[in-house]
Amino acid sequence: MKALILAAGIGKRLKPITDRIPKTLIKIRDKPILGHILSNLKKCKIKDVVIVTGYRDELIKDYVGSGSKWGLNVSYCHSEDYHCTENMYSVFLASQELLGQNFILINADDMFSPSIISKMLKKRGRIVIAVDGEGTLGSEEMKVKVDNGRICSVTKQMDPSQAFGEDIGITKFNKEGGKAFLDTIEGIIQKRGPHGWFQEAIDQLARQNYPITYVNVEDEPWIEIDDHFDLKWAKIPISHMIADKIKSMGRKLKSIKK
């Protein structure tokens, strides 16, 4: 299993902090957001990581390096057009690193409990989406529609009343699902250009009845850090909830070993 982390964006809604550093390097408690993600991957025994960089990429590379301090093998793809493209293009740039691989895609502004990754690794399926089935949905949330356990649509434009929950920005692909996803992205880019969000490709596959399933993570702490309100929420309640969850996971592991 390989991890793809999308970290090319500028993070305009977090200015003036992001005038100096990429959003993923903003510190939450003891380390940057990206450090929390890499620590989670280590806890879940995922060792191979590809990071797509863009804005201030040298700072990300300085912080992560080869990934050895986490026991990871980290490689990089760089988006020269980060200022005028979205994350679909980031996935496209990394496609050669992903073909023929099982991989998990993670947005670099997500703070989450490692138990979310653990649950996703256990769930079988060509494409598995982490969905929060609880909470209020508005125009900005990436909404998910479900029918008999299958994802049938993923889009921000969905009427919230039709949605089961929110796509939190973490998706797992097996080799077959990854190929279908990457082929769909390539087709969209060839037709329209390098603009849009990777969920558009998943939505297109879902509408074609491609088998896409999900893990409901409504009982897990997580947050996508888009703006200053999210950042405050991440620093106080969410980070503490995640820390408590990690401690709980450690206690369960010790009891199993005994």
Cα 196 off chain centre by:
16
Cis preceding-peptide flag for 211 (omega within 30 of 0): no
- In sequence order, which residues have a C-beta less than 8 Å from that of residue 91 and are 6 or more positions away? 4, 6, 52, 105, 181, 182, 185, 198
Q: Is the pLDDT of residue 147 over 60?
A: yes
Give the per-residue SS3 of 198-240: CHHHHHHHHHCCCCEEEEECCCCCEEECCCHHHHHHHHHHHHH
Domain 2-257 is in which class? alpha beta
Q: Indicate the angle between helix axes 239-257 and 114-122, nearest 10 degrees.
A: 50
- Count the neighbouring beta carbons within 10 Å of the beta carbon of residue 166: 26
If you count DSSP H runs as helices and E runs as strands, how many of each does the chain have, helices first? 9, 13
pTM beyond 0.85: yes
For 46-92, what is each residue's pLDDT tens digit? 999 999 999 999 999 999 999 999 999 999 999 999 999 999 999 99
CA–CA gap between residue 105 and residue 169 (Å, rounded): 8
Answer yes or no: are the C-beta atoms of 27 and 74 closer than 8 Å: no
Q: Is the pLDDT of residue 253 over 80?
A: no
Instruction: List the structure tokens of 147.
Output: 């029918």
239 pLDDT band (50/70/90 cuts)? confident
- pLDDT (0 to 100) of residue 126: 97
- pLDDT (0 to 100) of residue 135: 72
Collapsing DSSP to helix, strand or coil, 131 comes out as strand
- pLDDT (0 to 100) of residue 255: 39
Of the listed ranges 134-138, 198-202, 250-254, the least confidently predicted one is: 250-254
Q: Is the pLDDT of residue 108 over 60?
A: yes
For 191-222, what is each residue's pLDDT tens digit? 999 899 999 999 999 999 999 999 999 999 99
Q: Is the pLDDT of residue 127 over 80?
A: yes
Q: Is the pLDDT of residue 251 over 70?
A: no
Vertex 213: Cα angle to 207 and 218 (nearest 5): 120
CA–CA gap between residue 63 and residue 4 (Å, rounded): 17
- pLDDT (0 to 100) of residue 250: 54
140 pLDDT band (50/70/90 cuts)? confident
- Count the neighbouring beta carbons within 10 Å of the beta carbon of residue 208: 9
Higher pLDDT, residue 246 or 58: 58
Q: What is the mean pLDDT of the chain?
A: 91
- pLDDT (0 to 100) of residue 49: 98
Residue ranges covered by each domain of the chain: 2-257
